[in-house]
Amino acid sequence: MPFFDRLKDIFSRNSDDDTVKVSHIDKPIYYGTVTPYPNFNASDDTAIIRRAIETKGVNEDAIIAVLVKRSNEQRQRIKAVYETENGKKLTDNLKAALTGDLEDICLALLMTPAQNDAYQLMKATKGLGTDEEVLTEILATRTNQEIQEIKKAFKQEYKKELEEVIKSETSGNYTKILLQLLSGGRDESTRVDNDLVSKDTKVKSHKQNLKLFCFILYFISVVRLFILHKLVASR
């Protein structure tokens, strides 16, 4: 069965001990589609994953069922408990047990948001050319705190400063924009300064009027020149 079909099948299950229903919990305005598992036990999940890895042929469905139905915070707890109880990193064991898309997705699920962003930024700047869409999407949409966490994760994982990588892999005004975003100093206030808006509107209106006035003068000069040429030609 194709991987994504298996994923859909696992998500549709709703047995007593395998559910993600948390309808009784009030959700904020913005929230992820993967909610915290209500009956979470890191040690139990660790045991399930360990048995799934050690099973002959690897029980991939069991691994998927655990990882996709836990929040990121819960997955980080599973990763920590696994290493404590087994003396090995869960990511290393999954790399050895899985392949292809399933391996990539499971490893991504075990990253923190900052680690995943750092990984995507490294991929976007690695090799010939850069993936500017990825760079822009990540750096332009993260909060100041998230930017700092990304830079820290990047330094820890790749032993490089993200700013230096951006400088070496991009150029011109685009580099300046990305470095400004990486400074993490954006104004995140939601308060609207009405005086500033009014001044900005007046400036824009003045510029538009000035452009219109210049265009009218140019148009008049062209018409006058055309008429003059016609008069000269008719003599």
CATH number where 170 lies: 1.10.220.10
pTM score, whole prediction: 0.68
Q: Are residues 49 and 147 in the same domain?
A: no
**% of the chain exceeding 70 in pLDDT:** 77
Statement to judge: residues 230 and 158 lie in one domain: no
Q: Can you tell me the mean pLDDT for 192-205? A: 73
Q: Does position 91 have pLDDT exceeding 60, yes or no?
A: yes
Q: Rounded mean pLDDT of 177-203?
A: 80
Q: Any alpha helices (H) in the chain, and if so which ranges?
A: 3-12, 42-54, 60-67, 72-86, 90-97, 100-109, 113-125, 132-141, 144-158, 162-169, 172-182, 194-234
Tell me the two tokens of residue 88.
């090995």
Sign of the alpha-carbon torsion through 49, 52, 58, 62: negative
Identify whether residues 73 and 153 lie together within a single domain: no
CA dist 184 and 140 (Å) reads 10
Tell me: pLDDT of 223 over 70: no
| Total count of domains within the chain | 3
Residues 98 and 123 in one domain: no
Residue 140, domain extent? 113-182
Query: Do 42 and 30 belong together in one domain?
Result: yes
Let me know whether 220 and 136 are in one domain: no
Q: Which two three-digit tokens encode residue 103?
A: 């391996």
pLDDT, tens digit, 9 for 90 and up, residues 28-61: 555 567 789 999 999 999 999 999 999 999 999 9
Q: Under a CB-based contact definition with an 8 Å cutoff, are residues 178 and 133 in contact?
A: no
Let me know whether 105 and 128 are in one domain.
Answer: no
